[in-house]
Amino acid sequence: MFRLRVTPGIQLKLLETSEAKPLYALVERNRARLREWLPWVDQTRSSEDVRAFILRVLEQYHSNLGPQAGVWVDGVLGGTVGCHPIDWPNRNCSLGYWLDGAHEGKGVITRCCAALADYAFDELKLHRLEIRCGTGNLKSCAIPQRLGFTREGVAKGAEWVNDRWVDLVVWGMLDDEWRAHRNSGARH
């Protein structure tokens, strides 16, 4: 079972089907702001949709394609962070994340992404991580920037979100760059 202690009070834990209802309630509470940047929000219409997602990501994890975890803040589910399926021949994947608005601006996702990067590079031995964010999603883009990822460019019209094409900033990090960044004493 995948579980990472990020800091006192913040933990990542593999999602379970029993968490479908609370996770759906969290999506509902944050729907208006999430749907601006995330393509899956409009297709998430019930706790059964969330349960189907959890079953898919459990299969992903058990197939050695990376974890999708719930973000637990002081014991309460507050969002998700995880790997999109790992490309093992090239030893890379992209990370995705979202968080309840009540926890934004406190460094929670930055710390969670740092912990997941440690896991991906140290445990899984991946070579490259990528994060893609809508060019106008400044809060999301601040996370890879804070973590020392390199802004590699913009993928124009790369994602269909809420009836419009969104340009995505592509941020990349290699394993040796992550170790150098981490060893430099950079704070997350």
pLDDT tens digit string along 47-61? 999 999 999 999 999
pLDDT tens digit string along 71-100? 999 999 999 999 999 999 999 999 999 999
Name the residue among 85, 71, 63 with its Cα closest to residue 15: 71
CA distance 58 to 187: 31
Domain ranges of the chain: 3-183
Is the whole model's pTM more than 0.85, yes or no? yes
**One-character DSSP codes across the chain:** --EEEEETTEEEEE--GGGHHHHHHHHHHHHHHHTTT-TTGGG--SHHHHHHHHHHHHHHHHTTS--EEEEEETTEEEEEEEEPPPBGGGTEEEEEEEE-GGGTTSSHHHHHHHHHHHIIIIIS--SEEEEEEETT-HHHHHHHHHTT-EEEEEEEEEEEETTEEEEEEEEEEEHHHHHHHHHTT---
Query: How is residue 121 written in tokens?
Result: 């590079």
Band of residue 11 on the pLDDT scale cut at 50, 70, 90:
very high
CA distance 15 to 3: 10
pLDDT tens digit string along 104-155? 999 999 999 999 999 999 999 999 999 999 999 999 999 999 999 999 999 9
pLDDT of residue 188: 60
pLDDT of residue 185: 75
Judged against a pLDDT cut of 70, whether residue 187 lies above it is answered with no
CATH T-level assignment (fold) for domain 3-183: Aminopeptidase (3.40.630)
